[in-house]
A and B are shown apart, each in its own frame.
Chain A
Amino acid sequence: DQQVKQNSPSLSVQEGRISILNCDYTNSMFDYFLWYKKYPAEGPTFLISISSIKDKNEDGRFTVFLNKSAKHLSLHIVPSQPGDSAVYFCAASYTGANSKLTFGKGITLSVRP
């Protein structure tokens, strides 16, 4: 029973364009969401997060949007760069309890030069 779903296994975009990575969750108790980026043979690296009290959080080229009613979040990367090519994991957790992260399967993003 997967509580965090990343239904598209891969995405390919042109350099300079926008990349939109989607994530859905089923557990309404989740109140903190994170995106991690992973290169081959490395561990996941934290990218950006959002609390359920917000609907948007920006950090440079990365913006995460949260739609609580739809249980959906998305990561926007603008403009996309070849170095952004990696696997992106969406994760969800509960705040205040230092709790575990529940991950999706990941999306492989390829940015074409």
Chain B
Amino acid sequence: EAGVTQFPSHSVIEKGQTVTLRCDPISGHDNLYWYRRVMGKEIKFLLHFVKESKQDESGMPNNRFLAERTGGTYSTLKVQPAELEDSGVYFCASSRLSQGDNEQFFGPGTRLTVL
């Protein structure tokens, strides 16, 4: 079974530009989550999809961030326009719908650097 994949692995852009990150979850996983880790700090939740619906977007920093999951498969996270403080590693995670454990499987992350 393939794991969670993310593209690109690295992105370096200038302030004001737009970047789109992509996440492909594990096949059959209805839950998809986006997280972000800023240098040296904790991994912070951004938002949660159940299939194509946004279940919880309480962690989205502001309206410069737009996440989509059309068709309930892969997801994209667009940052427009990017600011310096958006730099960090963006992780995607997926899991099956569950009433018990909440084990989430993480992708390798996209390291975003905004100059």
Contact = CB atoms under 8 A, between A and B. Distances in A.
Interface of A: 2, 4, 32, 34, 36, 41-46, 49, 51, 89, 93-96, 98-106
B103 A34 contact: yes
B4 A49 contact: no
Given A43-B108, A95-B99, A98-B50, 6 more contacts: A46-B103, A95-B100, A98-B31, A99-B56, A100-B48, A101-B45
B98 interface: yes
30 contacts: A2-B42, A32-B101, A34-B103, A36-B106, A43-B109, A44-B43, A45-B106, A46-B103, A49-B102, A49-B103, A51-B100, A89-B42, A95-B99, A95-B100, A95-B101, A95-B102, A96-B99, A96-B100, A98-B55, A98-B98, A98-B102, A99-B56, A100-B56, A100-B59, A101-B35, A101-B93, A103-B35, A103-B43, A105-B42, A106-B42
B12 interface: no
Interface in B58-114: 59, 91, 93, 95, 97-109
Interface of B: 4, 31, 33, 35, 40-45, 48, 50, 55-56, 59, 91, 93, 95, 97-109
Nearest to B31: A98
Contact of A100 (B33, B97, B101): B33
A32 B50 CA distance: 20
A64 to B, nearest CB: 13
B100 A103 contact: no
Q: Which 5 residue pairs across A and B have the least CB separation, nearest first?
A: A43-B106, A100-B45, A103-B43, A105-B42, A103-B42
B45 A4 contact: no
A77 to B, nearest CB: 19
A71 to B, nearest CB: 17
B44 A103 contact: yes
B4 A43 contact: yes
B42 A98 contact: no
Contacts of B95: 98
Contacts of B101: 32, 49, 51, 95
A2 to B, nearest CB: 7
